[in-house]
Structure 1
Amino acid sequence: MVLDSLTDPRVLYARDGQGDIHVVLNPAGRAEHVGVISTLGGNADLAMTYDRFDHVIYFFEAQSDRTGRIKRLE
């Protein structure tokens, strides 16, 4: 799981057991799951980070390339 801000989080991003990336709005308050923004990846593809400067997610997936690759999600 990653937050868009460590001091005032508005969005939480989390990967499930199948590698899908989910979005939760207002994680510090009345949280609302708004859905999946990426289904790329598999059950072993759980690595992910959020770049707070560029506001993008970087994640690992081995579905489109069996040796694996890092993808950028804006």
Structure 2
Amino acid sequence: MALKITDECICCDVCVLECPNDAISLGEEIYEIDPDRCTECVGHYETSQCVEVCPVDAIIPDPDIREDRENLQRKYLRLQQE
């Protein structure tokens, strides 16, 4: 599953600094995760770093975008080629 940031976001910037794929950017009111760039840290770390560091637990799985580990690995490899 892809990740998304909920309205609980306090815009503390911590997640942005931790994302190895530059998938997180400031939206109109809160930060947003670009599902085309988010690999849930597959290829970089064992766990999603943004989820680990979020002080208000505002980053959750997005039920509308389902991805398995194999797809996330392919996305990671594609991003590495860019």
TM-score tier by shorter-chain length is: under 0.3
* Structure with more of its chain in helix, by fraction: 2
The normalised TM-score by structure 2 is: 0.21
* Structure with more of its chain in strand, by fraction: 1
The normalised TM-score by structure 1 is: 0.21
Higher RCO structure, 1 or 2 (CA under 8 Å, sep 6+): 2
